[in-house]
Structure 1
Amino acid sequence: MNVLSKLFPFIIWLPRVNASTFMSDLMAGLTGAVVVLPQGIAYALIAGMPAEYGLYTAIVVPVLASFFGSSKHMITGPAAAISIVVMGVVSNVVSPGSPEFIASVFTLTLMVGLIQLALGLARMGGLVNFISHTVVIGFTSGAALLIATSQLPHVIGIHPDRNQSFVDAWVGLLERLPETNYWSVLIALATIAATLVSKRISSRLPAMFVGMLAAMLVAWLVDAADKGVAFVGAVPTGLPGLSIPNLSFGLISDLFPGAFALAILGLVEAVSIARAISLKSGQRIVGNQEFIGQGLANTLGSFCSSFASSGSFTRSGVNFDAGAKTPMAALLASVFVLLIVLLMPGMTAYLPLPAMGGAVLLIAWNLIDFHHIKAILRFNRSETIVLLTTFTATLFVQLEFAIYLGVILSMIGYLKRTSKPKVIAVAPRSLETSTDLRNVTRFSLMQCPTIRFLRIDGSLFFGAVDNVLDEIEKFRASVPECTHLAICCSGINFIDLAGAQMLLDLKRRLQEQGCRLSFVQLKNTVFDELRASGVVDLLEEGAFYQTPDELLEELIDSEFKRQQCEGCAMRIFKQCPGTDA
């Protein structure tokens, strides 16, 4: 049963569906369908796909992701940042608008799904933790500008030039400003205004849908069709047809770098959204299961006229706030969208393209996380570099490489920080029952002339050993009278081969200088690894102590009490002669 629940997680919650939960899910599904209608069309246009494919994606993908994922409330489907990457990746290989473009998008979607599914089955859910939140913020902010730029031609009523760079798009836009159709601008502004007013009135209203209705009303009042305003057009009637991805080796090779970046980006978004919603619902999210759910959704969706998708924060939030109890809400929302496609396919024929442009401008604006951007720019220099570099790269290089660049910079920043563990002189803050070692500089503490403690805050691995050794040698040179150096290891989580060799080298150097080396508070797991590798024997097992008190009692009760403590008026440790315990 445990194995089956992992393969088919819906067998756990599906039997719990009853009349009460079904009614709650029904209302949430209806609300979700109303929200996804304009979003699905908008995201299809961003991805360079005909409008109907946004609706097909909103029908197929959410059901698969909800039934095979772990979140009860997250809604998967077309998403803004994912859609712009789909457009960017495929347009670098196949010209947008060509007959091959749509089949290539399905190929990309299949590749994304298979990569995600493989990562999930390999239980690599922790992989998303290596993608810095700063990278996602920088990328989505840059993507927001690209999305807005791609829709501005629709807003001002000119025919967009496809597959242009960010700079070329703006140059062309400025050159063609005299061609602006002010009726298109009016409709776009009406959409934006109605959407914002709807949000202000109530967060429960489907604001974007209200904006679309307002745009359609304005277009009818001004007779927009006769004034040169373009319309989305009617979507084909019927069920989403089966699609066949182009599986040619050349195309797969060309798309693979973008597919891998898109797969990782989609997983980061999905897991982040699922976790954010779980903070409200109290549900536990399983990262590997979400990988599998996203992978299956994109893999099977590629054969059902769907393009690459991920979690949607807006629709997931609406789903939770509308009272959804189980993933059945995602299924019901898909059913409602399907009924609209079957029964009212002509509805989009009355939807002006400038209205979609205006709606997408709002979507792009909401993609920019101003709060976290301000915090990053104000407090963290290295994260600021990652943010600005990722943002700039998103605008000026291929999108998949912008993601890779941001990830590489984040990893470099992480390695730079971990390669320089802090080496801090510590001493007792008070003569209590147990020795409490604190930062000497911060608390202005006195130190014993001959027994010194250093705390290493960070793991000892190949990238950190040189820095740690340099810091210890600088410290040792500053206190030549020290005859016993104790390393506090409470902050060390692991020691690799290079770290172990550094400790052996340090022991040899200190011995040559007449100084003994000991270790206190080393984690048991780290000690076991060192003992298994034989390093403990080389360092001498007697050099390891559970607490500073064990070490001090041994030292002061023997040689130090006899040789160095006599005549010393300082009372640094509670074990010092003349100090009351």
Structure 2
Amino acid sequence: MLNALSKLFPFILWLPRVNGSTLLSDLMAGLTGAIVVLPQGIAYALIAGLPAQYGLYTAIVVPVLASFFGSSKHMITGPAAAISIVVMGVVSNVVSPGTPEFISSVFTLTLMVGLIQLALGMARMGGLVNFISHTVVIGFTSGAALLIATSQLPHVIGVHSGRNQGFVDSWAALLDKLPETNYWSLLIALTAITASLISKRISSKLPAMFIGMLAAMLVAWLVDAGDKGVSFVGAVPAGLPELTVPNLSFGLISDLFPGAFALAILGLVEAVSIARAISLKSGQRIVGNQEFIGQGLANTVGSFCASFASSGSFTRSGVNFDAGAKTPVAALFASVFVLLILLFLPEMTAYLPLPAMGGAVLLIAWNLIDYHHIKTILRFNRSETIVLLTTFIATLFVQLEFAIYLGVILSIIGYLKRTSKPRVIAVAPRSLEASTDLRNVERFHLTQCPAIRFLRIDGSLFFGAVDNILDEIEKFRTSAPECTHLALCCSGVNFIDLSGAQMLLDLKRRLQEQGGRLSLVQLKNTAFDELVSSGVAGMLETDSFYQTPDDLLAALIDSEFKSMQCTGCAIRIFKQCPKDRG
């Protein structure tokens, strides 16, 4: 009963362990998290094309639901950079930014994202995230980082630019307006960047972005930036966020669905990846399906509470863990602190210069790019390089949701290409001390028996791989016409579908017609069961299957080979070979 309830309400497992000590630790972690999310929430709302307050609204409801209904004790969900730029990209393709319809459409998108994630979690499809390779995520986030930086540069230099422009048009407009740069805005942006970097260098535990904002606000006050044309974020409305009703018109849902599905998958990939990364430090076990449910529920309910689509935040999750959080109650405390700020200090953002936010977002964009893995991919892996560059370029020049789909499709194509060409390797004994140790003939320069040839198949036998395997086997048979017995070592074969089973049957028949035989060695029980279910095992006959190479060699040499091919053979590479050299 408890196990069933824990799947619906996972917090019942850890809630009894909450005590005075954990509450104190969670309180301090929550305060730290609130300080960190204040500038980030505002920044991500601006990236998503929304007024600043929606970033704070999203930091209130979403983190609590995701933490209480997810499986990670430390991951913090809320506004995220890559997710925010996709929200902007998806909705702006349907509704013009800056309009009331845009905001309501964002809530519709958020609801769709949440329902998709919730459905995937309920269907226990946690393994779905594995279909998006890490290379796709790196390529997409790198492109998104460049888009984010491009969107904020006008704020940094203090000029106005048109909304919803493409990447090239945005840079063309930016260069055209470069002579109009407001150097006071540039000074404030550089102050925010410099102060953030210095505080981060002093200690990684300091709220670097918050300190950068304070430094920029101080400079803006000292130079009287308002009179010098510098724009400010403005005060956010005081009080609780109002309940919102997403626009559920069929036309809007139809237009948003491709982007919603891509955004749902991207959000899950980020959340699960972050939860697993934090779990390596905490030693906690992460349940992928439960994270799906937590993320889905958070976005679904959040869409009615003025929140936009969210995912896990690596920065805030890391801060939460480093600050000593013990339970998900830390996320609740952080939300309460943000709510208190909205209730009693809403005018604080009125003194926040827009160039300071722009500078902070530039740092966020810089940190989104995984330079280490990009260098590794470009240097060592050609196929992954193609996926990386294609996803990166597509992110810049096509709709963001389709860039994600394109990267996923390329990854799947690359996977299918690799699995459709399993390696077929000639193997021969390298050692006979305990048992016949078969190794790669070319790598270890081994001698092969003229009559019995062993080929190892490193890959599964399925419809996509059949032709390639047959081609490789035919090459070996052509190079060794004296071979009368072909033994396939199947230790690397994980499954055999109907096409693979039929291939084995056809190969056996062809060999018999030419006076030869086929044997399968080291076949896994699961693969053998698949041959049995297809009816092919019976057609291959029981003497076609052997547990080890030694079992096969003992059966062959003690019967037909001893009196035929072994006579006069001077190679004798198997320990089962007759001692008499004839």
TM range (shorter): over 0.9
Q: Which amino acid aligns with 2:396?
A: L
Residue aligning to 1:162 = 163
Residue aligning to 1:250 = 251
Residue aligning to 2:506 = 505
1:402-551 pair list within 5 angstroms = 402-551=403-552
List alignment gaps of at least 5 residues for structure 2: none
**Is residue 151 of structure 2 the alignment partner of residue 150 of structure 1?**
yes
The 3-state SS of whatever aligns with 1:104 is helix
Distance 2:278 2:579 in 1: 61
Residue aligning to 2:274 = 273
Q: CA deviation at 1:15?
A: 1.1
Distance 1:440 1:579 in 2: 26
Q: Which amino acid aligns with 2:144?
A: A
TM-score, normalising length: structure 1 = 0.99
The 3-state SS of whatever aligns with 1:428 is strand
Q: CA deviation at 1:541?
A: 2.0
Distance 2:128 2:196 in 1: 37
Checking the alignment, whether the CA contact within 8 Å between 1:432 and 1:574 is kept in structure 2 is no
**Is residue 263 of structure 2 the alignment partner of residue 262 of structure 1?**
yes
Q: CA deviation at 1:160?
A: 2.5
Q: Which amino acid aligns with 2:147?
A: L
Distance 1:249 1:359 in 2: 38
Distance 2:161 2:222 in 1: 26
Identical-residue share of aligned pairs (%): 86
Residue aligning to 1:174 = 175
The 3-state SS of whatever aligns with 2:519 is strand
Residue aligning to 1:356 = 357
Distance 1:50 1:577 in 2: 86
How many residues align? The count is: 580
Q: Which amino acid aligns with 1:508?
A: R
Q: CA deviation at 1:88?
A: 0.1
Distance 1:108 1:278 in 2: 30
Distance 1:193 1:141 in 2: 23
The 3-state SS of whatever aligns with 1:420 is coil
Distance 2:350 2:579 in 1: 94
Q: Deviations over 1:374-423 (max 9, x none)?
A: 00000000000000000000000000000000000000000000000000
Q: Which amino acid aligns with 2:301?
A: L
**Is residue 338 of structure 2 the alignment partner of residue 337 of structure 1?**
yes
Q: Which amino acid aligns with 1:356?
A: M
The 3-state SS of whatever aligns with 2:431 is coil
Q: Deviations over 1:316-347 (max 9, x none)?
A: 00000000000000000000010011010000
Checking the alignment, whether the CA contact within 8 Å between 1:571 and 1:579 is kept in structure 2 is no
Residue aligning to 2:315 = 314
Checking the alignment, whether the CA contact within 8 Å between 1:84 and 1:143 is kept in structure 2 is yes
Residue aligning to 1:5 = 6
Q: Deviations over 1:434-476 (max 9, x none)?
A: 1111000001111100000000000011110000000001110
Residue aligning to 2:387 = 386
Q: Which amino acid aligns with 1:16?
A: R
The 3-state SS of whatever aligns with 1:176 is helix
Checking the alignment, whether the CA contact within 8 Å between 1:65 and 1:293 is kept in structure 2 is yes
Distance 1:525 1:141 in 2: 42
Distance 1:95 1:248 in 2: 17
Q: CA deviation at 1:579?
A: 9.0
Q: After superposing the two structures, state which structure 1 stretch, 291-300 or 529-538, moved more.
A: 529-538
Q: Deviations over 1:110-142 (max 9, x none)?
A: 000000000000000000011100000000000
Distance 2:418 2:90 in 1: 33
Distance 2:300 2:156 in 1: 34
**Is residue 242 of structure 2 the alignment partner of residue 220 of structure 1?**
no
Q: CA deviation at 1:568?
A: 1.2
Distance 1:57 1:579 in 2: 84
Distance 2:507 2:397 in 1: 49
1:3-402 pair list within 5 angstroms = 3-402=4-403
Q: Which amino acid aligns with 1:305?
A: A
Checking the alignment, whether the CA contact within 8 Å between 2:423 and 2:459 is kept in structure 1 is yes
Distance 2:272 2:552 in 1: 47
